[in-house]
């Protein structure tokens, strides 16, 4: 039995199939978690969604910014980007079932395996957020996504503000901040200020900011946080963080890591597997 985490697929179903073949994935034995951005920019987002649905309980995911973008475009709250490759989903006969499946997926997952915690998000976690807090905040958005007011939120989802987290935030600003952290964050300050303009690697942190996983006082250090989103960072395997976006859709690799606990508080032993993913896309967001 194996637990495999896979970085941003972004519609590259062919690479996903090659990766699953390489690791010998068996849905009767193994579990797969995609770390967000299942769709967009790659050639076959529709096939990725149908594959995940067909795998049932053997496959889970968290939502990323491109998955939320699909929901916004489908709702009419966001104009399609010229580089989008979402038409096959939007024009599919089972479109509504596909969109309903995406809406039912969480923004964060947590497993405890042999006493070791594993928190899974697409982008990042703020310093003041524990694993439990992250899950509770993700659930606030998850409840909204299943309710009648989700369309109203999509109409107001796209903004960088508020740029600092506070427990006093409420309504749309609070929900927007949660989504921005979990699907877009790269850099932040020790006091939960967010910076969204910089997209380069970890050494490009603006003054007063850190890569979110190195921010002083981060309260989620007691678990291993697995994430994607940051292709310019690439693979990073530490006891406290696993970064798995290795730029598949930009001609890089699609990466999977098998995680096995070493023991409570000792992180996970990891086995990294990668397949090439040549694509016509060029880096850009």
Domain range annotation of the chain: 3-276
Residues near 162 by Cβ (< 8 Å), separated by ≥ 6?
Answer: 169, 173, 176, 177
Q: Binning pLDDT at 50, 70 and 90, where does residue 263 land?
A: confident
What pLDDT shows up at residue 283? 44
Does 158 score more than 70 pLDDT? Answer: yes
The pLDDT-based confidence of 279 (bands split at 50, 70, 90) is: low
pLDDT band at 266 (very low <50, low <70, confident <90, very high): confident
pTM, full prediction:
0.96
What was the pLDDT predicted at 186?
A: 98
Q: What DSSP state is assigned to residue 37?
A: -
The DSSP secondary structure of 117-148, one letter per residue, reads: EEEEESS---TT--HHHHHHHHHHHHHHHTST
What is the chain's mean pLDDT, rounded? 95
Evaluate if residue 273 carries a pLDDT over 60. Answer: yes
* pLDDT above 70 for 15: yes
pLDDT at 282 over 70: no
Sign of CA dihedral 218, 220, 223, 225: negative
| 3-276 maps to CATH 3.40.50.300 | no
| pLDDT above 70: residue 284 | no
User: What's the pLDDT at 285?
Assistant: 40
Looking at residues 38-60, what average pLDDT do you find? 97
pLDDT at 77 over 80: yes
* 175-220 per-position pLDDT tens digit: 999 999 999 999 999 999 999 999 999 999 999 999 999 999 999 9
Q: Compute the distance between CA of residue 227 and CA of residue 103 in angstroms, rounded to an integer.
A: 20
Rg (CA), the chain: 18
Task: Give me the pLDDT at residue 24, please.
Answer: 96
Q: Say whether pLDDT at 68 is over 50.
A: yes
Question: Residue 176 contacts by C-beta under 8 Å, 6 or more apart in sequence?
Answer: 156, 157, 159, 161, 162
List alpha helices for the chain, DSSP H. Answer: 13-23, 45-55, 65-75, 87-90, 95-103, 131-145, 150-156, 171-184
Q: What per-residue confidence (pLDDT) applies to 280?
A: 47
Share of the chain above pLDDT 70, in %: 97
Residues 218-254 have pLDDT tens digits of: 999 999 999 999 999 999 999 999 999 999 999 999 9
**Average pLDDT of the residues in 165-179:** 98
Name the pLDDT band for 262 (thresholds 50, 70, 90). confident
């Amino acid at each position: 039995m194996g637990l495999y985490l896979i970085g941003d697929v972004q519609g590259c179903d062919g690479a996903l199939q090659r990766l699953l073949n390489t690791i010998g994935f068996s849905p009767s034995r193994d579990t797969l978690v995609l770390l967000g951005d299942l769709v967009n920019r790659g050639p076959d987002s529709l096939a990725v969604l149908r594959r995940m649905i067909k795998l049932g309980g053997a496959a889970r995911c968290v939502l990323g910014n491109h998955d939320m973008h699909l929901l916004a475009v489908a709702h009419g709250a966001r104009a399609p980007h010229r580089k989008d490759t979402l038409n096959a989903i939007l024009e599919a006969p089972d479109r509504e079932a596909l969109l309903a499946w995406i809406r039912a997926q969480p923004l964060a997952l947590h497993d405890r395996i042999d006493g070791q915690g594993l928190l899974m998000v697409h982008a990042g976690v703020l310093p003041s957020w524990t694993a439990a807090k992250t899950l509770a905040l993700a659930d606030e958005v998850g409840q909204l996504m299943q309710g009648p007011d989700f369309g109203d939120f999509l109409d107001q989802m796209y903004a960088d503000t508020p740029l600092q987290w506070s427990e006093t935030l409420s309504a749309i600003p609070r929900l927007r901040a949660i989504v921005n952290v979990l699907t877009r964050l790269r850099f932040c300050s020790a006091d939960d200020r967010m910076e969204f303009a910089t997209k380069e690697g970890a050494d490009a942190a603006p003054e007063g900011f850190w890569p979110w996983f190195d921010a002083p006082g981060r309260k989620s250090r007691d678990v291993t946080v697995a994430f994607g989103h940051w292709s310019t960072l690439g693979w990073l395997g530490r006891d406290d963080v696993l970064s798995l976006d290795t730029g598949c859709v930009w001609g890089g690799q699609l990466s999977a890591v098998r995680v096995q606990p070493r023991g409570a508080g000792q992180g996970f032993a990891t086995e990294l597997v990668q397949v090439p993913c040549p694509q016509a896309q060029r880096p850009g967001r």
